Amino acid sequence: MVEPIGFDKKRASEILNKQDIDLLIGSTPVNVFYSTGLPVTHVAPNPILYVLSNQYPYMSMIHKDGEESAIVWALYDSVEEFSWIDPSEVFRVGSLDGAINTLLRKAEDWNISNKTIGLESYMPRYQSEFLRKTFPNANFVDADRAFLDMRLIKTEEEVKRIKKSTEIAEKAILNMVDAIKEGISDNELLQIARRTIIDEGAEGWDHLTMNIGPSDPEAPGIGTIVKPGDVIRLDMGAVWKGYISDVSREACVGEVPPKAAEAMENIIKVQEFCLDNIKPGADPKQLYDEAVKFHKSLAKRGRANIIGHSIGLEVEEIHVFGPGTPMDLKFEENMVLDIEAWQLVRGQGLVGIEDCYRITSSGCERLSSLDKEIFIK
C-alpha cells in the first residue's frame, strides 16, 4: 500500500468530532481521490473509474475516528498500488444497486442509523435519497466544509505536486511568449500550451485561459489574431499527479498601451501588499478591505478585482478572500493560495497577474517563479 498524499487520519478525526459528524461520505472525484488515493479523477493516467462511474460508482466513507472504507468498480484490481486503505475495507461493486447495498451494510456495521451523516452537496440524488429513506432517524448534514477544512492545510507532498504543476504551467507560458508575434492566432498559441504541458510530464491541463486584446478570455480558440499593441493574457493550469496550478502573465507585441502599463504597475503593487500582510492568524476579510483601499490610493481610475483562493485538487478549492462570500476563517500555516489581482482596461480587457504561494510561519513562500512585468515582444 502507498502513503496518503494529503489525507491525515488524525486531522480528519478532529474535524469530524468538532463538527459532530459520525460518518462522512465522499462522492465527488476530488474528495474520493483525496480520502482514498484511488485514481477516480478525469485526469488520471487512465480515467476509466471516472468514465464508468455512471454504472459503477465510487465512494469513500470516513468514520469519526478517522478509519476509512471505500467502494470501487469490481474489475479494478490495482487498489493497493494507489490506496492506503486496508484492502479488507475496500468493497468492489458491479452495479448501482451493488454500490448502494454495500454502503448500507457498512453504515449498519457502524450503527449510524440515528447518528449524524455528512454528505457532499454534489452527491448524486439517487445516493442521497436512498440514504435518507433507509435511515429516517439519522441527521443528515451538508459536509462540504469538513472536506474543505481537511484539504486547506497542505502536506509537503501536496506542496511538491503543486509546485511541479506550476513549473509546467510556467514553461507553457514561456513557450507561448516565445512564439507570440504579429499575426499568430490564439489557436496556434493554445496548441503550443497543450503540447508543452504534455511534453513536460503533466497528465493534462486544468484550464487554458487567454485573451488577445479585448477577446473573451474564457472562450479562446476562435481564430483571434495578434495585432501590435494587443495585451495578451496567458492564464494556464497544468495537472501533475492530480494537483493543479494557476499562474498568469501578460505579453504585448510592441509598446504596451499606457493605460495597460499603469494598471499592471498598480496591480503588481497590490499583489505585493497582500503578500506583505498574509501571516498565520491574520483575518482574510480585513486583508481584502485593506487591499482594496490600497489600490484606490494608487489608481486614478478603475477598480481592482483582488482574490486569494485555495488551490490543490481544484484550481479554486475555496475563496479565502475576495469580493464574493469567502469562508469565515483565519490564515493558517501550510495553506496554499493563488493570489490574483486584475483591472479592466478599456480596449484591452482584464490586465493582471496571479501567482501561487504557501503560507509559512512568518509569511509567504512563492511557489511560482516568472518575472511579473509584461513580456515585451
DSSP H/E element including 248: strand 247-252
Answer yes or no: do 316 and 351 share one domain: yes
- Confirm whether 314 is domain-assigned: yes
Match 473509474 to its residue by C-alpha cell: 49
> Residues 180-220: pLDDT tens digits?
999 999 999 999 999 999 999 999 999 999 999 999 999 99
Examine residue 252 and state whether it is found in any structural domain, yes or no. yes
Mean pLDDT calculated for residue range 152-180: 98
Residue 107 pLDDT greater than 90, yes or no = no
Q: State mean pLDDT over 147-173.
A: 98
pLDDT value of position 338: 98
- Tally of domains within the chain: 2
- Based on the domain organization, do 90 and 182 belong to the same domain? no
User: Which amino acid does the sequence have at 80?
Assistant: E
326 or 247, higher pLDDT: 247
Pairwise CA distance, residues 155 & 335, whole Å: 9
Residue 327: what pLDDT?
77
pLDDT confidence tier of residue 297, bands split at 50, 70 and 90: very high
Lowest mean pLDDT among 109-118, 240-249, 290-299: 109-118
User: In terms of residue numbers, what domain contains 115?
Assistant: 9-152
- CATH code of the domain in which 81 resides: 3.40.350.10
DSSP letters, 193-226, are HHHHHHHTT-SEEEEEEEEETTS-TTS--S--B-
pLDDT value, residue 301:
83
Rounded Cα distance, 170 and 175, in Å: 9
Question: Please, what is the average pLDDT of the chain?
Answer: 95
Q: Are residues 314 and 209 in the same domain?
A: yes
| CA of residue 116 relative to chain centroid, distance | 28
**Is the domain of 71 the same as that of 191?**
no
pLDDT at 132: 92
Percentage, residues of the chain above pLDDT 70:
100
pTM value is 0.95
